[in-house]
Amino acid sequence: MIRSADIREWRNHDVVDPKGHRIGMLEAVYVDTTTDEPAVVTVRTGLPSRRRLVFVPLDEAVLGPGYVKVSHPKGEVRKAPSIGTDDVLPAEQEEAIFQHYGMPYRPGVNGERQLARR
C-alpha cells in the first residue's frame, strides 16, 4: 500500500499503465474517507488547450523513479470519468468512478462521500 506521505512526493510525475505507456501527469490524490489511505488519483491528460483530469485507482500501483505505474491500461483510463482542470469532483459523480473500474462504492452510513482530496 502506498502511504499518504509517499504519494505527495509524486505529484507532477508521469503516470504509466502496466505496459509502461504514459497516461499523463499525476495531479492530485484522493483518499478513502473510511481509512484515510490513498485510493484514487487524478491524472492530467489531453492537449494543452483541452486538458482534463481523469480518475484512476491506486490499487496495485507501483512507484518508480519519476513515475507511478497503475494497474489499469491507458485505454480504460482515458475513458474514465473526468473533470476540468479547475473543477472539483461533484458528489453525484463519485459513484461513476467506482462503476467504471468495477469497484464497489461504499458511501458512509449517512451518505458521506467515499473520496476526499488531499
pLDDT of residue 95: 94
CA 43/CA 65 separation, integer angstroms: 17
> For 4, how many CA atoms within 13 A lie in the half-sphere containing its CB?
10
Instruction: Kindly report the backbone phi and psi dihedral angles of residue 6, in degrees, each rounded to the nearest multiple of 5, phi listed first.
Output: -70, -45
Q: How far is CA 73 from the centre of its chain?
A: 13
pLDDT in tens, the chain (118 residues): 555 556 667 788 999 999 999 999 999 999 899 888 889 999 999 877 788 999 999 999 988 888 999 999 999 999 999 999 889 999 889 999 999 999 999 887 777 888 988 8
pLDDT of residue 9: 75
- Name which of 15, 80, 10 is nearest 44 in CA terms: 15
Residue with grid cell 474514465, as numbered in its chain: 80
